Amino acid sequence: MPNYLYVFRGGMPPASPQQMQQQMQKWADWIQQLTKSGNFKAGEPLERGGKVLSGKKKLVTDGPYAEAKDLVGGYLLVGAKSIDDAVELARGCPVFEMDGSVEVRAIQEMSM
Phi and psi, residue 27, nearest 5°: -65, -45
In this structure, are residues 73 and 49 in contact, taking their beta carbons and an 8 Å threshold? no
User: What pLDDT does residue 25 have?
Assistant: 94
Query: pTM of the predicted model, to two decimals?
Result: 0.85
**Where does the pLDDT of residue 95 fall: very low under 50, low under 70, confident under 90, or very high at 90 and above?**
very high
For 6-59, the pLDDT digits (tens) are: 999 988 766 788 988 998 999 999 999 999 999 999 999 888 788 888 899 988
Domain spans of the chain? Answer: 3-106
The architecture of the domain spanning 3-106 is 2-Layer Sandwich (3.30)
Pinpoint the alpha helices (H) of the chain. 17-36, 83-90
